[in-house]
């Protein structure tokens, strides 16, 4: 079954589940992307910083599917903030992907210490007007970063791609993002480093429903209306991760998984230090 399409605030649509590609290398990613498309994914997420855009482009071509049937996201890296650098970075990403446009381009991190995310956002607006990018959005932005770019340009990002999984659920940031009309993309949705896949609450629900823990967690994202980009190098896991549209979680299950949230890790204080920008 195809993933449902989520309508973004610019009227374009994005498949709710995409294949994440970090940390797949340039040499391993073509086969993974081709396999993902083969099992039904129509949305691939990459970034200049992943160092695998060439392989992503190759994987899409290898799949044999027309390019317009796949939604491709890339991201402007932290070293490329500022108008000129952002325009150059996007041109380089397109060259590596072997494409003349991407469906979505994101600012990977706000980099408030550099202080150029508004200029970077203005460059993405230009690139969108020129047709090199379908939709434009951000990643790892806090509410104050969102407000600054919206106030400065009048253009609201379509998505904020942030870490969301049952253990690092970012409830406040999700609410703040949604209240600004911005959709959320969950990175690290399975939270492997937080052991969410082994959590007893998750495994008990999975056993009862005859699903895997990963499917239960991904369905939790879907129930919350989140766009989700799990990564797997295994075709079998790619298949099961995409196969989450033939069951639902009831309110009690969703609440139980919501209860696993342990809050924002301390590392975010430094990663997202944006107060002075």
Per CB under 6 A, which of residues 145..204 are in contact with ligand A2P?
A: 188-192, 197
Helix (H) or strand (E) holding 54: helix 53-63
Q: Burial letters for 113-140: b for 16+ Cβ neighbours within 10 Å, e otherwise? A: eeebbbbbbbbbeebbeeebbbbbbbbb
Residues in 50-109 at the binding interface with ligand A2P, rule: CB under 6 A: none
Per CB under 6 A, contacts with ligand A2P among 215-274 are 230-234, 237, 240-241
**φ/ψ of residue 213, rounded to 5:** -55, -40
Residue 236: CB minimum distance to ligand A2P, A: 8
Instruction: Give 80 or 240: the residue with its C-beta nearer to ligand A2P.
Output: 240
- Which CB sits closer to ligand A2P, 106 or 190? 190
In the complex, what is the shortest distance from the CB of residue 94 to ligand A2P, in angstroms, rounded to a whole number?
25
| DSSP assignment letter at 273 | -
Give me the helices (H) in 143-274, please. Answer: 143-153, 171-179, 200-209, 213-223, 235-242, 251-258, 267-271
Q: Which of 6, 8, 15, 20 binds ligand A2P (CB under 6 A)?
A: 20
Nearest one of 207, 211, 162, 198 to 182, comparing CA atoms: 162
> For residues 47 and 94, which CB has a smaller minimum distance to ligand A2P in the complex?
47
Block residue for tokens 């994914």:
41
Closest to ligand A2P by CB, 12 vs 237, is 237
Q: Which is nearer to ligand A2P, 168 or 272 (CB)?
A: 168
Q: Could you tell me if 186 and 223 are in contact, meaning their C-beta atoms sit under 8 angstroms apart?
A: no
Residue 268 catalytic?
no
Q: What are 187's strand-pairing partners?
A: 163
In the list 3, 29, 176, 214, the residue contacting ligand A2P (rule: CB under 6 A) is 214
Which DSSP state fits 43?
Answer: E
79 alpha-carbon distance from chain centroid: 20
Tell me how far, at minimum, the Cβ of 197 lies from ligand A2P, in Å: 5
| Per annotation, catalytic residue among 41, 50, 117, 268 | 50
| Number of residues near ligand A2P (by CB under 6 A) | 17
Q: Is 202 helix (H, G, I), strand (E, B) or coil?
A: helix
**Residue 3: CA count within 13 A, CB half-sphere:** 37
The DSSP code for 8 is P
Considering the complex, state which of residue 14 and residue 94 has its C-beta at the smaller distance from ligand A2P.
14
Q: Does residue 139 bind ligand A2P (CB under 6 A)? A: no
Helix (H, G, I), strand (E, B) or coil at 161: strand
User: Smallest distance, Å, CB 64 to ligand A2P?
Assistant: 24
DSSP letter for 10, please: T
- The residues of the shown chain that bind ligand A2P, judged by CB under 6 A, are 20, 188-192, 197, 212, 214, 230-234, 237, 240-241
What are the catalytic residues? 50
């Amino acid at each position: 079954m195809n993933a449902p399409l989520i309508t973004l605030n610019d009227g374009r649509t994005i498949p709710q589940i995409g294949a994440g590609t970090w940390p797949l290398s340039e040499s391993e990613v073509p086969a993974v992307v081709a396999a993902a498309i083969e099992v039904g994914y129509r949305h691939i997420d990459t970034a200049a910083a992943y160092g695998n855009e060439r392989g992503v482009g190759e994987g899409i071509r290898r799949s044999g599917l027309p390019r317009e049937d796949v939604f491709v996201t890339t991201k402007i890296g932290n070293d490329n903030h500022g108008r000129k650098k952002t325009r150059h970075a996007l041109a380089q990403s397109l060259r590596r992907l072997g494409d003349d446009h991407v469906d979505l381009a994101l600012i990977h991190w706000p980099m408030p210490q550099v202080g150029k995310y508004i200029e970077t956002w203005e460059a993405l607006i230009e690139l969108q007007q020129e047709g090199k990018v379908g939709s434009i959005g951000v990643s790892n932005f806090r509410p104050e970063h969102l407000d600054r770019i919206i106030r400065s340009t009048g253009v609201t990002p379509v998505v904020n791609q942030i870490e969301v999984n049952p253990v690092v659920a970012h409830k406040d940031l999700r609410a703040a993002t949604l209240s600004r009309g911005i959709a959320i993309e969950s990175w690290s949705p399975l939270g492997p480093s937080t052991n969410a896949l082994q959590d007893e609450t998750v495994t008990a629900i999975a056993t009862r429903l005859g699903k895997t823990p990963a499917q239960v967690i991904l369905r939790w994202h879907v129930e919350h209306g989140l766009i989700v980009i799990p990564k797997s190098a295994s075709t079998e896991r790619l298949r099961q991760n995409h196969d989450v549209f033939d069951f639902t979680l009831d309110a009690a299950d969703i609440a139980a998984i919501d209860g696993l949230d342990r809050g924002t890790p301390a590392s975010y204080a430094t990663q997202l230090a944006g107060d002075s920008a």
